[in-house]
Amino acid sequence: MPMQAHSPYLPLNSLKQLAENVWIADGPEIQMRSLGLTIPFPTRMTVIRLPSGDIWVHSPIAWHDCLAAAVAQLGHVSCLIAPNTLHYWYLPDWQKGFPAARSYGPPGLVAKTRRPTRIDEELGETAPRAWADSIAQCLVCGTLLTEVDFFHRSSRTLILTDLIENFEPCRIHARWLRWVIRLAGASDPDGKAPYDMQLSFLGHRDQVRSAVRRMIEWNPERIILSHGRCYDRDGLSELKRAFRWVL
């Protein structure tokens, strides 16, 4: 196995409970194109048990039999979420593993995928009936990506995907990669949307600002990120800091 670029958030492919009815699972690295380079990214998915007992899976990571079994033990898997137009690659594998689940994604996802991906319902500003009573959401549209962000009301947990990236330098092995991530503006403790992503929202800043203000109104206690260190406290202050570029 090739050496990993990041020290992983062990254990991998295991559920880690962050709050009542909220879990994350860290997965293997993936390779993504960014700033003209191929950059290794750690991966993470979020799992929520809805009041009905059904299970909601956000940004599924690479399929792993033991992880899937652990998720199934929590309840009936009914919702599989591709949260933005970049985070969809493993959705077909989870659809195959949980054929009764309904799949959701942002507007325009199917037209952009490089792997055939089924979406049963496009997401917008209003949460579907399946989770409207427990999870709020907002839509952020841009040219590089369109993302749907979520807020689990009872635990005051905000779930973002790529709009904040927060890579810890101490976990990055290669000096060049630490430099690139710092240059991109996605290095802990000042993680945020990388600068190239910020630029991609130039024509959508009012809409982004409106979405961020809505997130601020939610007053999150914690923020789950797909890449890098999550914020387990001071969620509101971290949110305002990370989005100062648009507020």
- Domain membership of residue 137 (yes or no) is yes
pLDDT of 107-126, one tens digit each?
999 998 989 999 999 999 99
Domain of 137: which CATH number? Answer: 3.60.15.10
- Domain membership of residue 107 (yes or no) is yes
Spans in the chain with pLDDT lower than 70: 1-3, 33-37
CA distance 156 to 177: 33
CA distance 228 to 143: 23
pLDDT of 202-213, one tens digit each?
999 999 999 999
Total domains in the chain come to 1
Task: Report the candidate in 127, 115, 7, 133 with the shortest Cα–Cα distance to residue 58.
Answer: 127
- Domain membership of residue 4 (yes or no) is no
Structure pTM? 0.96
- Domain membership of residue 235 (yes or no) is yes
Give the Cβ contact number of residue 67 at 10 Å: 20
Give the model's pLDDT for residue 115. Answer: 92
Which residue segment(s) compose the domain that 219 sits in? 16-242
- Domain membership of residue 11 (yes or no) is no
Q: Give all strands of the β-sheet with 121-122 in edge-to-edge order.
A: 16-19, 22-34, 37-49, 55-58, 77-81, 102-105, 121-122
**58, 80 contact by CB (below 8 A):** no
- Domain membership of residue 39 (yes or no) is yes
- Domain membership of residue 68 (yes or no) is yes
Give the Cβ contact number of residue 85 at 10 Å: 22
- Domain membership of residue 28 (yes or no) is yes
CA distance 80 to 17: 19
